[in-house]
C-alpha cells in the first residue's frame, strides 16, 4: 500500500486479543521454557531482547531436503543505502526504464506529454498510473517475449493534470468531467506486451493482447455473491456485474496462468452522506467526502450512464434498483484476469471475502489436495485470511486453455478462514461459516442471514470469531522449497499493548511473520522471520541484528522466485531508516538458513549477512511489484510515486541538480551485465 492512500483510522473496534499481546506472551513463554524464570525476567526488562526472537520456534521446523540447485544462490554483495534521484543496483547489473505511466498501448493514445496535457482518451489507451503488483506471462514459454500485467494503485492528481485538479473556488467541488474521467482511467490494470530485442526490452504497441481494465470497465461477479440482492444496482439489476476495479495494490498469479489483482483501499472512493450501514462503517466507506470527489459531477449534462453518480451510495430511490446504495458492494475482492484472452471479462471472485485485499498468494500445490489462497487485510489491527478450495488440485488444469473456468473451479467454492495466533507459537484457522461459533458461544447465523452477508462484511464476521488483530498484513509469499508461508506486517504505531505475533508497541518498522500449515488446514505453527529496524535501533527494537547493509522499515512487497529466493520490498515510513536510505529491495534464501538439527531459522545477528540489499529506488518512491522471466535473466520491478525521476531511459542516471521532471511511476527491467540469472 502506498503511504499516500493509507487510512490510519482504526475500523476494528473489537475486543479481540491483538497480536502484540500474543507476541509478548509468546516471547516470555519461550524464554521461560529455555532459560528459567531468572533469564525470563531479564529478557522482559530488556524489552524482549534478541535472545527471545532469533531462533526457531518451540515447535520444530525441519527444513526441506529439496534445496535450490546452487549451494549459495545469492551471488551479489549487499549494497549501501542511497538517497538520490536515481535507482541504485548491485554491482554488474543494469536497469532500464520500461512502460512508464502514460506509455501508449495503441494508436488511440497520443504520446505522453510532459506538461500533463494528455486527454482522458489517451489515458484510457495507455499504461496507468502508480504501478504496483505485477506478473510476467510468457508467450510460448519465451523469456524474451511476453505479457506484463500490472496494477495501478492510485493517482497523483498534481502530476496527472497540468496544474492539478480543477475545483470551484467557493465549494471546492470538482468542475471538469474530462479530469475525472482521466483519473478513473488511470486506475486499474494494464496488460502490456513486451519483447526483448538486442538485449533491450520494449513495449510492443498495438499488440492484440494490450488492454486496460479501468475504474469503469464492466466485470463479472462470480461465487456466492453472484446475483445476490446485495449486489443489485441501477446499473446491474441482476447483481451479476460490477463497474471497474479500484486501488489495485498487491497481486498474485495462478498455476493455470491468470492474474489476480487485489482491491485494497477502495472504500474511500465511495460516500454515504446518509446513515451508513454497520458494514460500511466497519470497512470505512466515507461519511462526508469521497477520496477524489468523483461524485461531485453526478448529473452533469455530459455524464454517461451515471459514471460519477455511482460513487455516492446514499440511498435515494424506493429500492436498490433505482440508486447505487449497493455499488460499493461490488468492490473489495480478488479479481481474476486472463491476459492470454484479450476478449475475456475480468471476474470478481467473491468467495475469497470482501475487505481491503493487499495481495493473493497461492499455497504450495499437492496433487489431490485443495488449493489454498492467502490474503491480508491491510489496515491497522486487521486480519490474515485464507481460502481453501472444495476441489482438489489436478495438475492437468495447469495447461488448460479455458483458464477462467479453471479459476471458477478452485475459487468459487470452498471455505474462507481467518487466523488466530496463539502465544505458544501455534495458531488456529477459524472458518467463516454460518455454523461457526463466535466468542459468545453463538453461531454466526445469529448475526448473519446467509453466507452472502458474511462475505460482504468479512471483517465484521472475523471480529465475532476472535481473530487476531495484526500490524497491517500486506503481501504473502509461499516458499517453493519448504512450503512455509510468509507475510509482511508493515507497521503499526497505535498499539497500547504487545503480543507474541506483534511484539513492539511502537512498531514503526514492521516485521515478517512465517507459518507452516497442518495437514488438515485447521491449524499452523508460526514464528517471526525478521524484524525491520534501523541498524542502531535501541534494545528491544533491532531484534534481528540488522546492520547498515540491510536495515529496513515497513516491509510490503514479498515474492519468492522459483529458486527459493525471497525478495523483500519496502514502503518506508520510519525516519530512522529513511534518513539513511530510500525504499529498497532485499533478498535472502530462507531454506538455506538452518541449524545443526536442520531446523529453519529466523534472521538474527549470527546469520543476518544472508539478508542482502539488492537495489535502492529514487527519492520519494516506493519499490513494489516484481516479475521475472522463466530463465530468471530479467527481473521487472515497479517504482511507484518517485519524486523527481526518471530523467533518462537508463534508470541509474541521476536527475541533474536543478532539473525538475514530471514524475512517472514505471517498470524497470533489471539484467546482469553480460547475461545470466539475476541474483546468482
**What own/partner pairs with CB < 8 Å and gap ≥ 24 does 12-17 have?**
12/282, 12/379, 12/380, 12/381, 12/382, 12/459, 12/463, 12/469, 14/463, 14/464, 14/469, 16/439, 16/463, 16/466, 16/467, 16/468, 16/469, 17/466, 17/468, 17/469, 17/499
- Helix then strand count (H, E) for the chain reads 9, 31
SS3 255: coil
pLDDT at site 496:
63
Of the candidate ranges 66-80, 125-139, 240-254, the one whose mean pLDDT is the lowest? 66-80
Q: What is the Cα–Cα distance from 641 to 155, expressed in whole angstroms?
A: 9
pLDDT at site 539:
77
Tell me: the pLDDT tens digits for 191-214?
999 999 999 999 999 999 999 999
pLDDT at 445 over 50: yes
pLDDT at 585 over 60: yes
**Set of cell numbers at residue 160:** 496527472
- How many other C-beta atoms lie within 10 A of the C-beta of residue 207? 18
pLDDT at 35 over 50: no
Tell me: the pLDDT tens digits for 611-628?
999 999 999 999 999 999
Of 463, 224, 480, 261, give the one whose Cα is nearest residue 375: 261
| Longest CA–CA separation in the chain, Å | 76
Tell me: the pLDDT tens digits for 640-659?
999 999 999 999 999 999 99
Mean pLDDT on 133-143? 98
Contact in structure between 209 and 235 (CB atoms under 8 Å): no
pLDDT band at 5 (very low <50, low <70, confident <90, very high): low
pLDDT at site 506:
66
CATH level 3 topology of 3-672: Neuraminidase (2.120.10)
Mean pLDDT on 402-429? 97
Q: What is the Cα–Cα distance from 199 to 539, expressed in whole angstroms?
A: 48
pLDDT band at 262 (very low <50, low <70, confident <90, very high): very high
pLDDT band at 504 (very low <50, low <70, confident <90, very high): low
pLDDT at site 492:
64
Of 240, 263, 266, give the one whose Cα is nearest residue 328: 266
**Set of cell numbers at residue 280:** 460500511
SS3 225: coil
pLDDT at site 59:
39
Q: What is the Cα–Cα distance from 193 to 139, expressed in whole angstroms?
A: 9
pLDDT at 67 over 70: no
Question: Edge-to-edge strand order for the sheet containing 666-672?
Answer: 93-98, 666-672, 635-640, 622-628
With a CB cutoff of 8 Å and minimum separation 6, the contacts of 409 are 389, 391, 397
pLDDT at 560 over 60: yes
Of 352, 377, 375, 349, give the one whose Cα is nearest residue 363: 375
Contact in structure between 472 and 10 (CB atoms under 8 Å): no
Mean pLDDT on 123-146? 98
Contact in structure between 660 and 652 (CB atoms under 8 Å): no
Q: What is the Cα–Cα distance from 155 to 14, expressed in whole angstroms?
A: 32
pLDDT at site 380:
78
Of 245, 238, 260, give the one whose Cα is nearest residue 326: 238
pLDDT at site 51:
29
Q: What is the Cα–Cα distance from 75 to 92, expressed in whole angstroms?
A: 11
pLDDT at site 8:
60
pLDDT band at 405 (very low <50, low <70, confident <90, very high): very high
Q: What is the Cα–Cα distance from 351 to 407, expressed in whole angstroms?
A: 12
Q: What is the Cα–Cα distance from 417 to 433, expressed in whole angstroms?
A: 9
pLDDT at site 547:
97
pLDDT at site 471:
82
pLDDT band at 508 (very low <50, low <70, confident <90, very high): confident
Percent of all residues in the chain with a pLDDT value above 90, rounded to a whole number: 82
Mean pLDDT on 102-130? 98
pLDDT band at 142 (very low <50, low <70, confident <90, very high): very high
Q: What is the Cα–Cα distance from 571 to 307, expressed in whole angstroms?
A: 33
Distance spanning both ends of the chain, measured CA to CA: 29
Amino acid at each position: 500500500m502506498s503511504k499516500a492512500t493509507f487510512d490510519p483510522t482504526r475500523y476494528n473496534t473489537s475486543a479481540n486479543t491483538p497480536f502484540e499481546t500474543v507476541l509478548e506472551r509468546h516471547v516470555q513463554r519461550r524464554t521461560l521454557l529455555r532459560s528459567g524464570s531468572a533469564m525470563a525476567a531479564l529478557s522482559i526488562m530488556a524489552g524482549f531482547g534478541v535472545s527471545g526472537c532469533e531462533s526457531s520456534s518451540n515447535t520444530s521446523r525441519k527444513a526441506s531436503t529439496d534445496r535450490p540447485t546452487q549451494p549459495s544462490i545469492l551471488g551479489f554483495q549487499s549494497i549501501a543505502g542511497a538517497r538520490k534521484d536515481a535507482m541504485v543496483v548491485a554491482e554488474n547489473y543494469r536497469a532500464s526504464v520500461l512502460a512508464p505511466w502514460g506509455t501508449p498501448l495503441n494508436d488511440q493514445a497520443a504520446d505522453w506529454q510532459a506538461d500533463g496535457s494528455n486527454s482522458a482518451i489517451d489515458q484510457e489507451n495507455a499504461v496507468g498510473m502508480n504501478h504496483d503488483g505485477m506478473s510476467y506471462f510468457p508467450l510460448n514459454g519465451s523469456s524474451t517475449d511476453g505479457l506484463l500485467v500490472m496494477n495501478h494503485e492510485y493517482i497523483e492528481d498534481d502530476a496527472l493534470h497540468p496544474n492539478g485538479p480543477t475545483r470551484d473556488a467557493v465549494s471546492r467541488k470538482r468542475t471538469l468531467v474530462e479530469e475525472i474521467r482521466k483519473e478513473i482511467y488511470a486506475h486499474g490494470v494494464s496488460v502490456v506486451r513486451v519483447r526483448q530485442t538486442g538485449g533491450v526490452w520494449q513495449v510492443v504497441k498495438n499488440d492484440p493482447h494490450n488492454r486496460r481494465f479501468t475504474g469503469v470497465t464492466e466485470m463479472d461477479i462470480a461465487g456466492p455473491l453472484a446475483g445476490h440482492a446485495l449486489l443489485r444496482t441501477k446499473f446491474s439489476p441482476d447483481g451479476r456485474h460490477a463497474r471497474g476495479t479500484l486501488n489495485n495494490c498487491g497481486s498474485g498469479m495462478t498455476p493455470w496462468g491468470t492474474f489476480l489483482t487485489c482491491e485494497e483501499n477502495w472504500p474511500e472512493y465511495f460516500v454515504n452522506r446518509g446513515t451508513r450501514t454497520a458494514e460500511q462503517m466497519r470497512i470505512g466507506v466515507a461519511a462526508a467526502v469521497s477520496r477524489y470527489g468523483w461524485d461531485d459531477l453526478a448529473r452533469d449534462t455530459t455524464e454517461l450512464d451515471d459514471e460519477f453518480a455511482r460513487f455516492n451510495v446514499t440511498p435515494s430511490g424506493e429500492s436498490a434498483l433505482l440508486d447505487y446504495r449497493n455499488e460499493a458492494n461490488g468492490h473489495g475482492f480478488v479479481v481474476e484476469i486472463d491476459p492470454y484472452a484479450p476478449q475475456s471479462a475480468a471476474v470478481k471472485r467473491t468467495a475469497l471475502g470482501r475487505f481491503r485485499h493487499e495481495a493473493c498468494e497461492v499455497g504450495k500445490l499437492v496433487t489431490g489436495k485443495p488449493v489454498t489462497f492467502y490474503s491480508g487485510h491491510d489496515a491497522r489491527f486487521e486480519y490474515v485470511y485464507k481460502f481453501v478450495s472444495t476441489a482438489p488440485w489436478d495438475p492437468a488444469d495447469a495447461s488448460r486453455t479455458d483458464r477462467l473456468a479453471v479459476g471458477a473451479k478452485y475459487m468459487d467454492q470452498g471455505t474462507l478462514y481467518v487466523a488466530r495466533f496463539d502465544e505458544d507459537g501455534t495458531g488456529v484457522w477459524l472458518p467463516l461459516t454460518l455454523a461457526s461459533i463466535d466468542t459468545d458461544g453463538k453461531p454466526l447465523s445469529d448475526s448473519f442471514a446467509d453466507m452472502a452477508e458474511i462475505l460482504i462484511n468479512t471483517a465484521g464476521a472475523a471480529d465475532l470469531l476472535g481473530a487476531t488483530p495484526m500490524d497491517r498484513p500486506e503481501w504473502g509469499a509461499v516458499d517453493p522449497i519448504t512450503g512455509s508461508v510468509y507475510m509482511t506486517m508493515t507497521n503499526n504505531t497505535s498499539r497500547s499493548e504487545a503480543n507474541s505475533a506483534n511484539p513492539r508497541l511502537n512498531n514503526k518498522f514492521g516485521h515478517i511473520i512465517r507459518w507452516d500449515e497442518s495437514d488438515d488446514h485447521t491449524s499452523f505453527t508460526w514464528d517471526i522471520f525478521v524484524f525491520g529496524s534501523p541498524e542502531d535501533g535501541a534494545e528491544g527494537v533491532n531484534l534481528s541484528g540488522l546492520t547498515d547493509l540491510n536495515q529496513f522499515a515497513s516491509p510490503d512487497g514479498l515474492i519468492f522466485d522459483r529458486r527459493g529466493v525471497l525478495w523483500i520490498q519496502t514502503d518506508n515510513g520510519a525516519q530512522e531508516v529513511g534518513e539513511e536510505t530510500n525504499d529498497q529491495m532485499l533478498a535472502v534464501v530462507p531454506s538455506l538458513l538452518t541449524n545443526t538439527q536442520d531446523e529453519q531459522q529466523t534472521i538474527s545477528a549470527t546469520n543476518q549477512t544472508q539478508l542482502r540489499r539488492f537495489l535502492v529506488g529514487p527519492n520519494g518512491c516506493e519499490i513494489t511489484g516484481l516479475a521475472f522471466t522463466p530463465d530468471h535473466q530479467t527481473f521487472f520491478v515497479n517504482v511507484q510515486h518517485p519524486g523527481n525521476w526518471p530523467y533518462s531511459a537508463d534508470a541509474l542516471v541521476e536527475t541533474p541538480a536543478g532539473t525538475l521532471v514530471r514524475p512517472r511511476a514505471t517498470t524497470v527491467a533489471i539484467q546482469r551485465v553480460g547475461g545470466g540469472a539475476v541474483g546468482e
